[in-house]
Amino acid sequence: MIGRAAEILRRGGLVAFPTETVYGLGANALDIDAVERVYAAKGRPAYNPLIVHVADEGAARSLVSEWPEHASRVARAFWPGPVTIVLRKRDLIPAVVTAGLDAVALRVPAHPIALALLRAAGIPLAAPSANRSTELSPTTAQHVERSLGARVDLILDGGPTQVGIESTVLDLRGPRPSILRPGIIGARELEPLVGPLAAPNATRHEIPRPSPGMLDRHYAPRARLALFDASEAERIFAETRVLMARGVRVGMLLVHLDDPGGLEIVRMPSDAVGYAQRLYATLHSLDEAGCDVIFVERVPNGPEWLAARDRLERASTPN
């Protein structure tokens, strides 16, 4: 299967494959036509650059024009793993991969199937999450099949992913690194390696977007998603009963609040890593169950919850 997948990729086709974070939609990053097929399959706007996946640090170095010392520290600490680094690209990376930016995002995924595929194909793989643009990222092969179906030549099934949300994107250009997209590896783990991070930029409505993860509505389920906190719980529970009586299908994700009874509750893990792992999978299954509305108890404010908060905020932004 890996051999066949590698052959499809070398010929310019698309292969969806598991990583430790979410499933990726892979194409030869050095082949303009193949990369254009990725944008078409996703319905992704051309200004959103793609992450390039490689087998090891050596392969990453060969694609960039500079490799600062702290890039090696991050690579040694976290690769293979859920951290993507952004550095100035070399000319061999076509502009279509980076949406015209002179920087490329690189990572070594920590999944045996992804690594075997990268080694067998012998090429860097441009691979965004394997879902239609703005939809929830896939954490199983079935999610990929439902979202992309015949738009992909082959789907490699590696079961459910471990991390459950997308990698941390770390910009290492210039003197002051910054996190462009939060993930389970946060500032606390990265600052000892790269020094103090620049404050996250509030560029939500600016152009050019430094990072497409900053598109306002992203990672969203089909159902309407609304966040609430403990002080609003009684009102939300009452509203849910009214909606249900009218035949509206309502799902609810709780972390700490008590189950009020009679509602369709999903009890989420109370640790940030466990929560992230279950988040998309839970939203996918509520979508599949036909939920129209999903009420989500806000997660805590601590730094380890930053990535989950980020994904929930984006999923709840109205269209």
Least distance between ligand TXA and beta carbon 260 (Å): 35
Q: Which two structure tokens, joined as six digits, stand for 306?
A: 């930053």
Nearer to ligand TXA, 45 or 269 (CB): 45
Which residues touch 149 (CB under 8 Å, ≥6 apart)?
A: none
Nearer to Mg ion, 114 or 265 (CB): 114
Q: Which two structure tokens, joined as six digits, stand for 196?
A: 């103090």
Pairing of strands 250-254, 265-267: parallel
Residue 22: alpha-carbon gap to chain centroid: 6
The answer to whether 130 touches 147, Cβ cutoff 8 Å, is yes
101's contact among ligand TXA, Mg ion, none, with CB below 5 to 8 A by partner kind, is ligand TXA
Least distance between ligand TXA and beta carbon 313 (Å): 14
SS3 content of the chain, % helix, strand, coil (to 5): 35, 20, 45
Answer for which of 129, 140, 147, 282 binds Mg ion (CB under 5 A) is 129
Distance CA 157, CA 174 (A): 39
The answer to whether 220 touches 315, Cβ cutoff 8 Å, is yes
Q: Is residue 21 near Mg ion by the rule CB under 5 A?
A: no
Q: Which stretch binds Mg ion (CB under 5 A): 10-18, 47-55, 121-129, 292-300?
A: 121-129
Nearer to ligand TXA, 200 or 300 (CB): 200
Q: Is residue 140 near Mg ion by the rule CB under 5 A?
A: no
Q: Which stretch binds Mg ion (CB under 5 A): 122-130, 239-247, 250-258, 262-270?
A: 122-130
16's contact among Mg ion, ligand TXA, none, with CB below 5 to 8 A by partner kind, is none
Where do the H-state alpha helices sit in the chain? 2-10, 32-42, 57-61, 69-78, 95-98, 112-121, 141-148, 187-194, 233-245, 272-288, 306-316
Least distance between ligand TXA and beta carbon 224 (Å): 22
Contact set with ligand TXA (CB under 6 A): 19, 21-22, 24, 49-51, 84, 86, 98, 101, 103-105, 109, 127-129, 166-167, 169, 180-181, 211-213
Residue 158 belongs to what H/E stretch? none
178's contact among ligand TXA, Mg ion, none, with CB below 5 to 8 A by partner kind, is none
103's contact among ligand TXA, Mg ion, none, with CB below 5 to 8 A by partner kind, is ligand TXA
CA atoms within 13 A on the CB side of 110: 18
Residue 154 belongs to what H/E stretch? strand 154-155
Q: Which stretch binds Mg ion (CB under 5 A): 47-55, 126-134, 138-146, 200-208?
A: 126-134
Which position's Cβ is nearest Mg ion?
A: 129
**Residues interacting with Mg ion, by CB under 5 A?**
129
